[in-house]
Chains A and B, each alone.
Chain A
Amino acid sequence: MEYIPNILFAVVLFLGIGFFAKNVKKLIRNIKLGQDKAVSDNKSQRWKNMAMIALGQSKMVRRPISGFLHVVVYIGFIIINIEVLEIIIDGLAGTHRIGLSVLPQSVYGFLIGTFEVLACLVFIAVIIFWLRRNVIKIARFWKSEMTSWPKNDGNYILYFEMVLMSLFLIMNATDVQFQALNSGNVISQFMAPWFSGLSEGTLHFIERGAWWLHIVGILVFLNYLYYSKHLHILLAFPNTYYGKLQPKGQFNNLEAVTNEVKMMMDPNADPFAAPAEGAEDDVPAKFGASDVQDLNWVQLLNAYTCTECGRCTSECPANLTGKKLSPRKIMMDTRDRLEEVGKNIDANNGEFKDDGKQLLGDYITHEELWACTTCNACVEACPVSIDPLSIILEMRRYLVMEQSAAPVELNNMMTNIENNGAPWPYNQMDRLNWKDE
C-alpha cells in the first residue's frame, strides 16, 4: 500500500510526458508538410542568433517594460524548473526533499530561497501582464484577430502561471519541517503564519495537496502548449536558429522561374524539345502559395512559434492606418489552416483529402495581401525571428503568376515594365531625356 503514491506518480508522469510526446510528433509531421528549404548554411551565425535572440532575449527588451517583465518570467521559468527535478525524484522514490540529503543545507536553502524569490517576482510580473491585457487594454491585445480563443488563451496562460507559482510557495509555507530549518524560506516564512491555526495533519494535507497539484499542473501546462500560442517557449529556439540570415530586403529568387527564364533567353533552346527523361513524372511547378503545403517548412515553424504578442501588427503601417492587414493574423491563419490540414490527415488514415478550402481566400483575403508595403517592420519587430512578409509574398506570387489576380493598377504597371521597361508608359528611348530638360 505504501507504494501507491509512487506508482500513481509514475503513471501520471508517464501519461503527461507520453501525451505531450505524441503531440510533438504530430507537430513535427505538420511542419514537414511544408516545402523543403535548405538551412544547413552558416551554422555559426545560426547558433549565434539563437543564443542572442532566444536565449538572450535581445529583441524582447527593445520594448523595455514588456521586455523586462518577460525576462523575469523567462528566468523564473527556467530556474524554478530545477525544482521539478527534485519533485520528480521525490515522487518516484517516495522521498521528501531529496535535495536536503544530497546537498549541504546552506546550498539547498540558497537554491530554494532563489526559487521562492523568483516565484514571487514571476507572480508579480504575471499580474502586471494580466493588467496590461485586461485593464490597461494595450491596443495590440485588442485587435480584431484577438477575440474568443486567442484572447482567452492569453489569459489562461497567465492564470496557469499564477496558480503554479502560488502552489509552489504554499507547498513550502505549509511544510513544517522545511519552515523549521528556517533556511531558504525567504518568501514562504511570511506566508506560514496564514496557516498557523491549523493542525499538523491539516498542514501536511495542504502541503501534499499543493505538491501534487503543482506537479500535475506542470504536466497539464506542458500538454496545454500544443493547443496554445504558448509553444514559443520551446519553438523560439529552433525558430531563431532557422530564421532568415540574408538582409531583410532580399527576397528569394524562385528557381522554377529562373529555369524558365533561362530557357526563354537562350537563343539555342529548342522550344519543341522533348522533356528530359523522367521529367514527365514531375508535377509542374506551382508558383507561389495558395495553401499551407505550398509554404516552406520554416514558414510553418514560424506559424507554430508565433505567440501572438502583436508587436508586428503594432508596427505595421497598413494596420496602423486601419487596413485589414495584420501580420499577426497572417501567422495565426497559417497555423489554424495547418492544424486543420493536420486533422484532415489524421481523420483520413494519413492522407489529405481535399476539403474545398485553402489558406488563400478562406483564411487570408486578397485585400489583406495587397495592403502590404513590404516594409519589413513586422519582421524587424518580431522577437523570435518570424517572417510574415515571406508568406505574404508567396501568396502574392500565386495571385499574380497562377491567377493573374493583381489589382488592375498593378497589372497596368507590370504591363508597362514588360512593354517599355519602366512602371510608367514612357518609352525606353526617352530614358536619358532628363539630362537636357
Chain B
Amino acid sequence: MSELLKVPTMADFMAEGKQPEILFWVGSAGSFDDRAKKITKAFVKILNKANVDFAVLGTEESCTGDVAKRAGNEFLFQMQAVTNIEVLNAYQIKKIVTCDPHSFNCLKNEYPSLGGQYEVLHHTQFINQLIAAGRLEGLNDTYKGKRITFHDPCYLGRANNEYDAPREVLQKTKATLTEMKRHKRTALCCGAGGGQMFKEPEKGDMDINVLRTEGALETNPDIIATGCPYCNTMMTDGVKAKEKESEVQVLDIAELIANAQGL
C-alpha cells in the first residue's frame, strides 16, 4: 500500500514554483514513533483521497520545542522555534495542519511572538472542514453502531477550547458516541503531558493512564478514539494494563476515518 502514498515535500513544491494548500506538520512522534507513524500514514491517505494539495517539510522539519518548553527549558524551545520559523517563513507557509495537539498549540500560540504567524489547524478540525466542504465523501459502515468514546487531548481541549471538531468527525462514522464521566473541560489527562512521556512518573498509588483508561472502560467502548499520538500510546498501554486489548481498540480519529473510507 505504501507505494500509493503521495508525500511531496516543500522542497518539491519550491522546485516547481508552487505553493501547497497546507503544510502537514508531521511532528517528532509522527515521524519516529512506530504507533504514531500509522496515524501519520492514515492522515496522508485521507489527504490523498480528498485531493488536498499538501506538503511536508521532511528532513527540514525539527522538533517544535514544545516538550522542552514544558519541561522548563525555554532556551532550547526558543532555539527550536526560531530555527523552524526560519524554514517555515522561507517557504512562505500560511497554513499548517498537524496530528499532534502539542505541536498544534505550540505553533498556533507560542510561535507568533517569535516571528512565526500561521493559520494552524489540528487534523480533526481539518478533516471536519473537508467533510463539511464535501471533499471527503462516502464513509462506509465499518463503525456503524460501534461504541466509541473520545478522549480529549488536553492541548486541543482545555488548552485551545476545541471540543466539537473531533466529535463532529466521529459522528460521521455512524458510531454511537459515549462520553466518559470526565470529558471536555474536565477531561483527565492521559498522563503524558508536560514531559511525562519521557520519564518515569513520581511515586504515587497508580499511573495516570490506567486511571484514565478505567474511566474510558466504564463507558463499555468498542473503541477509544484519540486525537494525539501521546494520548494514543498512553491509552494503548492502559488498555493493556487492564488486559482489555482483545476487546477494546485505541485508534486515532484519522485512522477511524481512513478505515471508514476503505483506505
* Residues of A with C-beta under 8 A to B46: none
A429 located at the interface, meaning its Cβ lies under 8 Å from any Cβ of chain B in the complex? yes
B139 located at the interface, meaning its Cβ lies under 8 Å from any Cβ of chain A in the complex? no
Task: Let me know if A321 and B78 touch, CB within 8 A.
Answer: no
In the complex, what's the smallest C-beta–C-beta distance from A1 to chain B, in angstroms? 64
Task: Let me know if B204 and A423 touch, CB within 8 A.
Answer: no
Task: Let me know if A431 and B201 touch, CB within 8 A.
Answer: no
Q: Using A317-B189, A380-B185, A426-B32 as known contacts, say yes or no to A431 and B26 having CB atoms under 8 A apart.
A: yes
Task: Let me know if A414 and B68 touch, CB within 8 A.
Answer: yes
* Residues of B with C-beta under 8 A to A437: 2, 37
Chain B: CB-nearest residue to A376: B158
Q: Using A375-B194, A423-B63 as known contacts, say yes or no to A318 and B110 having CB atoms under 8 A apart.
A: no
A181 located at the interface, meaning its Cβ lies under 8 Å from any Cβ of chain B in the complex? no
Chain B: CB-nearest residue to A407: B199
B 1-27 to A, binary, CB cutoff 8 A, 1 in contact else 0: 010010101000000000000000010
* Residues of B with C-beta under 8 A to A247: 105, 108-109, 159-161
Q: How far is the CA of A353 from the CA of B164 in the complex (A)?
A: 53
Q: Using A249-B160, A287-B74, A325-B202 as known contacts, say yes or no to A372 and B194 having CB atoms under 8 A apart.
A: yes
* Residues of B with C-beta under 8 A to A376: 154, 158-159
Q: How far is the CA of A396 from the CA of B194 in the complex (A)?
A: 11
Task: Let me know if A324 and B202 touch, CB within 8 A.
Answer: yes
B243 located at the interface, meaning its Cβ lies under 8 Å from any Cβ of chain A in the complex? no
A27 located at the interface, meaning its Cβ lies under 8 Å from any Cβ of chain B in the complex? no
In the complex, what's the smallest C-beta–C-beta distance from A377 to chain B, in angstroms? 7
Task: Let me know if A431 and B204 touch, CB within 8 A.
Answer: no
Those of A14-45 within 8 Å (CB) of chain B: none
Q: How far is the CA of A324 from the CA of B31 in the complex (A)?
A: 35
* Residues of A with C-beta under 8 A to B193: 373-375
Those of A169-226 within 8 Å (CB) of chain B: none
Those of B181-209 within 8 Å (CB) of chain A: 185-186, 188-189, 191-208
Q: Using A422-B31, A428-B59, A429-B59 as known contacts, say yes or no to A406 and B161 having CB atoms under 8 A apart.
A: no
A253 located at the interface, meaning its Cβ lies under 8 Å from any Cβ of chain B in the complex? yes
In the complex, what's the smallest C-beta–C-beta distance from A224 to chain B, in angstroms? 33
Q: How far is the CA of A257 from the CA of B74 in the complex (A)?
A: 7
Chain B: CB-nearest residue to A418: B76
Those of A245-287 within 8 Å (CB) of chain B: 246-251, 253-254, 257-258, 260-262, 264-265, 287
Task: Let me know if A318 and B58 touch, CB within 8 A.
Answer: no
Number of residues from A at the complex interface, CB < 8 A: 71
In the complex, what's the smallest C-beta–C-beta distance from A295 to chain B, in angstroms? 15
Q: How far is the CA of A431 from the CA of B109 in the complex (A)?
A: 24
In the complex, what's the smallest C-beta–C-beta distance from A335 to chain B, in angstroms? 23
Q: Using A372-B194, A380-B185, A410-B195 as known contacts, say yes or no to A249 and B202 having CB atoms under 8 A apart.
A: no
* Residues of A with C-beta under 8 A to B75: 257, 260-261, 287, 401
Those of B143-181 within 8 Å (CB) of chain A: 154-155, 158-161
Chain B: CB-nearest residue to A259: B78
Q: How far is the CA of A421 from the CA of B9 in the complex (A)?
A: 18
Task: Let me know if A414 and B71 touch, CB within 8 A.
Answer: yes
Q: How far is the CA of A400 from the CA of B2 in the complex (A)?
A: 42
Q: How far is the CA of A399 from the CA of B80 in the complex (A)?
A: 20
Task: Let me know if B194 and A421 touch, CB within 8 A.
Answer: no
Those of A357-379 within 8 Å (CB) of chain B: 367, 370-377, 379
Q: How far is the CA of A399 from the CA of B211 in the complex (A)?
A: 29
* Residues of B with C-beta under 8 A to A320: 188, 208, 211
B28 located at the interface, meaning its Cβ lies under 8 Å from any Cβ of chain A in the complex? yes
Q: How far is the CA of A131 from the CA of B261 in the complex (A)?
A: 56
Task: Let me know if A434 and B191 touch, CB within 8 A.
Answer: no
Q: How far is the CA of A283 from the CA of B113 in the complex (A)?
A: 25
* Residues of B with C-beta under 8 A to A422: 28, 31-32, 62-63
In the complex, what's the smallest C-beta–C-beta distance from B200 to chain A, in angstroms? 7
Task: Let me know if A373 and B194 touch, CB within 8 A.
Answer: yes
Q: Using A367-B202, A422-B28 as known contacts, say yes or no to A414 and B63 having CB atoms under 8 A apart.
A: no
In the complex, what's the smallest C-beta–C-beta distance from A61 to chain B, in angstroms? 13
A393 located at the interface, meaning its Cβ lies under 8 Å from any Cβ of chain B in the complex? yes
B132 located at the interface, meaning its Cβ lies under 8 Å from any Cβ of chain A in the complex? no
- Most A CB contacts (10 A, CB to CB) among B31, B59, B212 go to B31
* Residues of B with C-beta under 8 A to A371: 201-202, 204
* Residues of B with C-beta under 8 A to A379: 158
Q: How far is the CA of A397 from the CA of B58 in the complex (A)?
A: 31
* Residues of A with C-beta under 8 A to B212: 317
- Most A CB contacts (10 A, CB to CB) among B72, B108, B160, B191 go to B72
A315 located at the interface, meaning its Cβ lies under 8 Å from any Cβ of chain B in the complex? yes
In the complex, what's the smallest C-beta–C-beta distance from A415 to chain B, in angstroms? 9
* 22 residue pairs from A and B, CB less than 8 Å apart: A248-B159, A249-B160, A251-B70, A288-B72, A317-B211, A317-B212, A318-B202, A324-B202, A324-B203, A367-B203, A374-B195, A377-B189, A397-B74, A401-B72, A421-B80, A422-B28, A422-B32, A423-B63, A426-B32, A431-B26, A432-B9, A434-B41
Beyond known contacts A322-B206, A434-B30: 4 more, CB 8 A cutoff: A258-B114, A372-B194, A393-B72, A431-B32
What residues make up the interface of B, taking CB atoms closer than 8 Å to A?
A: 2, 5, 7, 9, 26, 28, 30-33, 37, 40-41, 44, 56, 58-59, 61-63, 65, 67-76, 78-80, 82-83, 105, 108-110, 113-114, 154-155, 158-161, 185-186, 188-189, 191-208, 211-212
- Please name the 3 residue pairs, one residue from A and one from B, whose CB atoms are nearest each other, closest first: A249-B159, A322-B205, A396-B72
